């Protein structure tokens, strides 16, 4: 199986020993605490699950700036984006060296992790602007990722963490949420050697399904991991539980048994386009995938990124040798009326736009909201039924 990044074995920061975790949970009740941002809590979940191996906690300012600039920490360790604990004030923690981080996404704000404080630093406007521009390739406050990043405080607390739980992901998505440790173990149990991962924050239509089949066939893969984002999205995106139902239904009907694993991870979407594509590849290697599908405008939003920027960044900016995982580069896929099957559009040079079944997201949402299933060349009927029921429920 492919090795994790930066170490021979994963180093998940979740405290697996029950007695130790119980003692730390008790200790946390008497520690100074901070209610952290949703992004900081999601980073704790990813650190806890081994996805961000070999990081041991939140970065200091020098590392965060270095990562933003060059995708390398000051030590030379590769990482695609800053991982920060940004807060508005540290008045409540005084001179404490050990603090409890409280989860903003769970009722009662339980402690998600304990952090050892190594440094407390103020991020100035120029530093914040540099990180924003380098990671998101824009400073537009209308960009949802830019807005979320800059809505956090300007005080960075760095240091190692011990993760005590996986926030709401483990309870609300018990059948889907998996750590990198768990996915590696399941891949090993299944005996898969060549594994391709597919990222999604949306339900999968026929073109997505066929893209996965194409990748599996062309790469001669033993299995597919459909890995869906379970964290916070932007308004209008399909909720995770609905996506989960739709994807599981698709796999049940249209994939051979034991060929596709449906899983999810707890992280807030950055919408950072190319940089987020690299991050996605990073933690897919840590979870054991040997290949990763990246299509047009991967992890993008609006018109901020070029169609293939998320692919070319691996050639132009990712340091040589930083990743072992291989990228499967995909074009837009759609049903060809000429060939009577789904194709990559760049592999059908004799086609015009009219030869494809192409529907905008707005058009599909309108159809589903009216109880009209998209054509079979676009969406499986079983998936369409689930989405129609969802849109009826919010009408």
Active site residues: 201-202
Query: Hey, how many other C-beta atoms are within 10 angstroms of the C-beta on 155?
Result: 15
The whole-angstrom separation of Cα 134 and Cα 270 is 13
Instruction: Kindly report the backbone phi and psi dihedral angles of residue 57, in degrees, each rounded to the nearest multiple of 5, phi listed first.
Output: 165, -155
Extract the runs of DSSP E, i.e. beta strands, from 41-146: 57-58, 86-87, 98-102, 111-116, 119-122
CA distances 32 to 39, 90, 95, Å, are 20, 10, 10
Q: 220 near 214, Cβ under 8 Å?
A: no
Residue 120: Cβ-neighbour burial (10 angstroms; 0-12, 13-18, 19+): middle
* Sheet containing strand 291-294, strands side by side: 260-265, 223-229, 195-200, 291-294, 326-329
Sign of CA dihedral 143, 45, 191, 79: positive
E strands, 191-234, in order:
195-200, 223-229
User: Cα separations (Å) of 260 from 10, 42, 196, 328?
Assistant: 23, 26, 10, 17
Full DSSP string of 147-189: HHHHTS-SEEEEEEEEE---TTHHHHTTTTB--HHHHHHHHHH
Length of the chain: 395
DSSP element (H, E) containing 47: helix 38-48
């Amino acid at each position: 199986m492919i090795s994790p990044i930066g170490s021979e074995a994963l180093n998940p920061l979740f405290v697996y020993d029950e007695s130790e975790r119980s003692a730390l949970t008790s200790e946390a009740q008497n520690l100074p605490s901070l209610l952290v941002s949703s992004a900081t809590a999601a980073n704790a979940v990813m650190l806890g699950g081994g996805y961000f191996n070999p990081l041991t906690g939140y970065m200091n300012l020098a590392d965060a700036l270095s990562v933003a600039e060059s995708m390398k920490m000051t030590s030379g360790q590769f990482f695609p984006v800053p991982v920060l604990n940004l807060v508005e004030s540290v008045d409540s923690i005084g001179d404490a060296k050990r603090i409890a981080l409280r989860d903003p996404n769970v009722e009662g704000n339980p402690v998600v992790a304990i952090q050892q404080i190594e440094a407390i630093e103020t991020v100035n406007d120029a530093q914040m602007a540099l990180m924003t521009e380098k990671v998101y390739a824009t400073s537009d406050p209308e960009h949802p990722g830019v807005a979320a990043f800059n809505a956090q405080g300007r005080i960075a607390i760095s240091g190692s963490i011990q993760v005590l739980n996986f926030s709401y992901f483990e309870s609300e998505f018990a059948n889907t949420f998996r750590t990198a440790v768990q996915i590696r173990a399941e891949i090993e149990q299944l005996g898969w050697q060549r594994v391709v991962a597919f990222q999604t924050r949306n339900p999968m239509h026929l073109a997505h399904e066929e893209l996965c089949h194409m990748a599996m066939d062309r790469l001669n893969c033993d299995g597919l991991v459909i890995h869906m984002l379970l964290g916070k999205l932007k308004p209008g995106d399909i909720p995770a539980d609905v996506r989960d139902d739709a994807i599981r239904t698709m796999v049940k009907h249209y994939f051979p048994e034991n060929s596709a694993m449906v899983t999810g991870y707890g992280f807030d979407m950055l919408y950072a386009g190319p940089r987020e594509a690299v991050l996605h590849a990073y933690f897919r290697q840590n979870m054991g995938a040997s290949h990763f599908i990246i299509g047009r405008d991967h992890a993008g939003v609006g018109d901020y990124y070029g169609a293939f920027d998320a692919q070319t960044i691996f050639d132009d900016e990712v340091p040589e040798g930083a990743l072992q995982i291989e990228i499967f580069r995909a074009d837009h896929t759609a049903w060809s009326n000429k060939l009577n099957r789904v194709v990559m559009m760049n592999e059908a040079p004799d086609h015009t736009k009219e030869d494809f079944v192409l529907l905008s997201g707005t058009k599909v949402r309108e159809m589903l909201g009216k109880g009209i299933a998209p054509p079979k060349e676009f969406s499986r009927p079983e998936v369409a039924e689930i989405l129609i029921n969802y849109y009826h429920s919010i009408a």
